[in-house]
A and B are shown apart, each in its own frame.
Chain A
């Protein structure tokens, strides 16, 4: 049912421009990876703290407040590069299980991060309780799934 839409995506100006260029896809990929690095750092520093390791001398709320703009910046970079990457090979993506795993997990991870994790982290101090630890672990698991499925798009 969605296939015509994916065909249209690939026929768009951006999709065709990226698909027909030698350098565009690799460069977008590389910047997408740089976004992944920043995203990893901004997430881990808080998730690890929520789990009770890493920067244990600082409160969870302070680290989360500092990390937030970098987390948002990383996501902006990833989406801004991810969309043209997708447009350049939408039909391949349509038939790719990893792509669908990633697209199913991504909104869950985003909703969890900004809906649940942020609210809890904001009010958490020096001694994260069990609830906080679970949230840190779930955040890591969700984003790991998004990243792993994302990498696997290229292999499957």
Chain B
């Protein structure tokens, strides 16, 4: 059912116009990529502080209080531009292995951030000024760094059609991961 919906979505006039546009698509894509510097950049800075690798004499609350709004602004731009890109070719991205891994890892990053803010960060007043934050915060920072790095790498690789359903033969697990059965059979 989701395939039929995405197939229909990809045939709507606006989706076709966006994909075939000379400037709109590249501009949306460029905004998506350049905003990485803001969103992932600000996230990295905060994660490095949480791991105790950088900004050791700057309290953690300074980052979660003053920098987080910038991270959120970046996240909104990433989401809007990302959804527009998805809208331009819904079915292709849905069956793209890298896109699927990227979405999964973003869910992991989201859960990690949620757990940190509900957990260790609630007691940040007691440890926020420590050069090396407690274990839970260091783990949250490390998981976040690894997850967003993987999101960036898989995000970049979405552009390649190596594992697309119409490129066959592929190993069984690739077709499974890409959800190709319905297409190939």
Residues of A within 8 A of B (CB): 22, 26, 29-31, 33-34, 36-45, 48, 54-58, 62-63, 66-67, 70, 144, 147-148, 151-152, 155
Chain A nearest CB from B154 CB (Å) reads 8
Q: Smallest distance from the beta carbon of A34 to chain B beta carbons, Å?
A: 6
Instruction: Kindly identify which residue among B41, B48, B157 contacts A39, using a CB–CB cutoff of 8 Å.
Output: B41
Minimal beta-carbon separation of A61 from chain B (angstroms): 12
Verify B45–A45 contact, CB threshold 8 A.
yes
Chain A residues, CB < 8 A from B76: none
A22 and chain B: residue at smallest CB distance: B162
Cβ B41 vs Cβ A42 within 8 A: yes
Determine if B156 and A37 form an interchain contact, defined as CB atoms under 8 angstroms apart.
no
A38: nearest chain-B partner, CB-CB: B44
**B contacts with A, residue count (CB < 8 A):** 35
A103 to B40 CA separation, bound complex (whole angstroms): 25
Which 9 A-B residue pairs are closest in the complex by CB-CB distance? A40-B37, A40-B41, A41-B41, A37-B40, A41-B45, A30-B153, A30-B156, A155-B26, A41-B44
Q: B residues within 8 A CB of A67?
A: 45, 54
Q: Assess the A58–B54 pair: CB atoms within 8 A.
A: no
Partner of A55, one of B34, B57, B67, B160: B67
**In contact, A66 and B55 (Cβ under 8 angstroms):** yes
**B38 in contact with A33 (CB, 8 Å):** no
Q: Distance (Å) between the CB of B54 and the closest chain A CB? A: 6
B30 touches A38 (CB 8 A): no
Question: Chain B 43-78 against A: per-residue CB contact (8 Å), 1 yes, 0 no?
Answer: 111001000001111110011001100100000000
Contact check, A55 vs B44: say whether CB atoms are below 8 A apart.
Answer: no
Report the minimum CB–CB distance from A128 to chain B (whole Å). Answer: 15
Please indicate the chain B residues that have their CB under 8 angstroms from the CB of A39 in the complex.
37, 41
